[in-house]
Structure 1
Amino acid sequence: MGQSPKPTEYAEMDAIERMIRESSLPRQSMSNQIIHRIGENQVSRRSGKAKSSVLKRSVVAASVTAILGAGVIGAGFVSPVMADALKKIPGFGVIYNGTSAEAVNAAVEQGIVSEPGLSVTHDGITLKLADLLYDGTRLSFTLIREGTDLENMVIPFKLKDTPKEQLPKGYIVGPELQSAGQGKMEALSLLADGQKIKFTTGSFGDLPGQRNAFIGEMTHGLNLPDKFELTIQTKVTNVEEPFEFKVPVKVDNNALVLKPDVTKSDGQFSYTVKELYLSPVSTRLVVDSQGPVPQSPEQTGDYSASKVYYEIVDDQGNELDQRMLGFFNGKPATEYHIDDLYSPFAGKPKSITIKPFTFTVKNADWSIVGEKKDSKGNYVTGKDRLGNDSWKDSMGTRTYLKDLEVTIPVNP
């Protein structure tokens, strides 16, 4: 028999489970076997385009540790002092890191960020719809729980096989939190004007650092209008009645959408910047690439290059934080469709530079050269040039493909 996980390992398993659910891989690639293997301290994931690739780990930067979308803001003017204070709130600061008070105000005025303030109480448990964010490409919300003080909002991994009638009262039943040991439980449901919201990538779970807060977010594959009625329905363990929230959503979508369709090539590897989507709360980069990844002299023999990643920099040299980097223990594919989220620009830039780079991988164990971790295996926190927390220098040494950089002008 295998040895049972230690109590300290449960938290790690829960974190891994959340990262799996947050992965940018296609939803159809998420199987119950993946979640089951967390119990064996092994996490694997097949990509639709690279079937032999196995997900080694998801690198969660500052902009993932505090998941985008959470905040405490209502409609109205936000002073510079208030905007600075909001940036320090877990989950909210990520969205507005490096962003001016004017940009925060723009998000409020455009209806992107709101505080519905709705609450529902059943059997002594209260859920409050605290925050809502929709910018035309990403939808997220926060639920706050009262009436119990469980350590988690969602059913933790260590209780995944506990019969549902034996579970403590107060856990939210998310869309992927059902288990054979618990039977069928009605999952969280999201509707727009009464129709189920379709999306390809989303994350649902505990809000880091807040034991009574639940975050739900859909980041890819949304096709929603600028105005609709959002319905959030969820069940809570050992509470008979469902919790339902209905809230009108209306966003004055003033996002800047660039479709440069510009291509850079070294003769073998090439990539095309298909789209840049700029809103007060996020930046989305869509890139298609083809060909073998360029290799530096250091990326030969026992070492090789990772897939190509992309930095985004404005005309003042300010770099945006990429929300997630995924490391795979396999050779990179020769074709990628990238659709990634970054932090917002601090105002409208005059130009945007895309800087492709790779990490150097040790072939023997797929470790990343230059990684810096503490005794607990966490990335060492540093500071960026603005004094904000940064994990960039701890994630590995970057090899920039300078001949493949491209600068895209932003028309006034």
Structure 2
Amino acid sequence: MEKWQNQTEKQMLERIRSSVGRVELPVDSYNEQIMNRIEHLETRGGNKLLKKTLAAASIAVVIGLGTITAGFISPAWADTLSQIPVFSSIFKHTENPGLKLAAEQGLTTSPNMSVTKDGVTLSVTEVFYDGIQLAIGFERTGVADERVLAEITDFKTHEFDQSTKGLLGLPEVTLATGEPIGFGSSITGDVKGQPNTLLLELRELHNASALGDEFKVNIRVPVAQIAEPFEFEVTAKKLAEGIINLTPGQGASKDSFHYKVKSLDITPAAMRMIITSEGEVPASPEQTGEYGPTAVFYELVDDAGNVAASKQGYALMKAVQHPIVDSLYNTFPQTPKTITVRPYTMTLDNDLKLLLDDNGKPVRTYHKDLESTIVIP
């Protein structure tokens, strides 16, 4: 039988229609609704992944009915079902809006690699790379415990709690050469609402240009009470469209303080800005005496007024000057025509506590004369 991935979409839908038509379903089944859904898929435009996903969803109804009326499923139909791809996404359930958007738009890849050891199976289900961040989704089966990531007892050595079999330690990701992948920050943790899943995000990747549009990574995941780590070799493919890389070299000055936007990278899932600066951190009249400014932070605003705040952490020291600031931002709803950089500081007292407003949020002091607007080509 011809493989699913070698068929055209028209052939694929025709085979689904033919197969559904041959199955003897109960009178009150969803046969007609499924067929109408397939007809709808043939006539509408739009995302190819969406078409395939909806087609698979329609077949899932038949699968459910087949469970109840298994006697109606023929060997030919079972063969057809075995070739239907299964679509699932860990990224759609993360707290990272960029990854959610990437998954919804079909911009991620699915290696579907699995390794089983001593009754525990670990799979790499999803990968996303856009030159800014590398995200990898894992799924674990064969373990009754709802926890996936073990408690890390030593972040320097990556030692973790071994008391429960099947808990995962921190994944280690290296290039095919064995070199570690350089990054600015990372997040590893269970995915809320998705049992037995783990998400690894490596952000602000170093020297992304040297990685190229496609590269292999080796992944090693230690598992509690299993001697050898689970190992995978995965190909990371850079997102091909919707990426803008700018080197504006523009900024602004106030007194002795000066900054420049060295680079601004925009993808459908994230934005990254690298700023260089020098001079004394500017202070407002209110930031004197027992109060003082924090380091300078940079907010981005598009031409439609949408605001993207930096994910950079707070430096709880007064007037800290950072010569290089590498920050990650959530993407805007649409590619903007312009982006305005709005520098601001927050205020610390002598106990290094942030000054808060009536809503319990840090008070921000914006420096209007330090704003700079970048035109997006």
**Offset at residue 362 of structure 1 (A):** 1.8
Give the counterpart letter for 1:148 in structure 2: V
Return the alpha-carbon distance in structure 2 between the equivalents of residues 267 and 165 of structure 1: 53
Give the corresponding residue for 1:189.
172
CA distance in 2, matches of 1:166, 1:353: 49
* Percent identity for Structure 1 against Structure 2: 30
- Identify the residue that residue 281 of structure 2 maps to in structure 1: 293
Once residues 315 and 321 of structure 2 are traced to their aligned partners in structure 1, the CA distance between those partners, rounded to angstroms, is: 14
- For 1:312 and 1:164, locate their aligned partners in 2 and report how far apart those are by CA, in whole Å: 39
Give the 3 Å change call, closer, same or farther, for CA 125–371 of structure 1 in structure 2.
farther
- Inter-partner Cα distance in structure 1 for 2:345 and 2:322: 15
Q: In structure 2, which of residues 361, 370, 376 is the aligned counterpart of residue 404 of structure 1?
A: 370
Number of equivalent positions:
290
Name the residue aligned to 1:264: 252
Shift in Å, 1:397: 1.6
Partner of 1:212: 196
Equivalent residue, structure 1, for 2:35? none
> Separation in 1 of the partners of 2:309 and 2:93?
16
From 160, 167, 173, the counterpart of 2:163: 167
Checking the alignment, whether the CA contact within 8 Å between 1:104 and 1:280 is kept in structure 2 is no
- Tell me the residue number matched to 2:44: none
Shift of 1:128: 1.6
Structure 2 counterpart of 1:282, from 270, 287, 290: 270
Kept in 2, the 8 Å contact 1:149–1:212? The answer is no
Give yes or no for contact 1:127–1:145 (8 Å, CA) kept in 2: yes
1:290-369 correspondence to structure 2 within 5 Å: 290-322=278-310, 324-369=311-356
- Note the residue ranges of structure 1 that are not aligned, 5 or more in a row: 1-74, 175-187, 373-393
- Name the residue aligned to 1:243: 230
- Picking from 80, 90, 109, the partner of 1:114 is 109
| RMSD of aligned Cα (Å) | 3.3
Matching of residue 94 in structure 1 with residue 86 in structure 2 = no
Instruction: Look up the match of 1:65.
Output: none
CA distances 1:354-373 after superposition (whole Å, capped 9, x unpaired): 0111112222342332275x
Measured at CA, do residues 408 and 77 of structure 1 come closer, stay the same or move farther in structure 2, by a change above 3 Å?
Answer: same
State TM-score, norm by structure 1.
0.62
Q: 1:77 corresponds to which residue? A: 49
Extract unaligned runs of 5+ from structure 2. Answer: 1-46, 55-88
Q: CA deviation at 1:271?
A: 0.8
Distance in 2 between residues matched to 1:286 and 1:214, nearest whole Å: 29
* Superposed displacement of residue 249, structure 1: 2.7
Q: 1:137 matched to which residue of 2?
A: 132
CA–CA distance in structure 1, aligned partners of residues 152 and 160 of structure 2: 14
**Structure 2 residue 224 is the aligned partner of structure 1 residue 221:** no
SS of equivalent to 2:369: helix
> What's the CA shift string for 1:33-55, capped at 9, x where partnerless?
xxxxxxxxxxxxxxxxxxxxxxx
Instruction: State the one-letter code of the partner of 1:122.
Output: K
Aligned position for 2:182: 199
Determine if contact 2:150/2:160 at 8 Å carries over to the other structure.
no
Alignment of 1:3-42 (within 5 A): none
1:308-336 CA-partner distances (Å, limit 9, x unpaired): 111111111111243x2422332232343
Whether the 8 Å contact between 2:271 and 2:331 is mirrored in structure 1 is yes
* Residue 111 of structure 2 corresponds to residue 124 of structure 1: no
* Bigger share in helix: 2
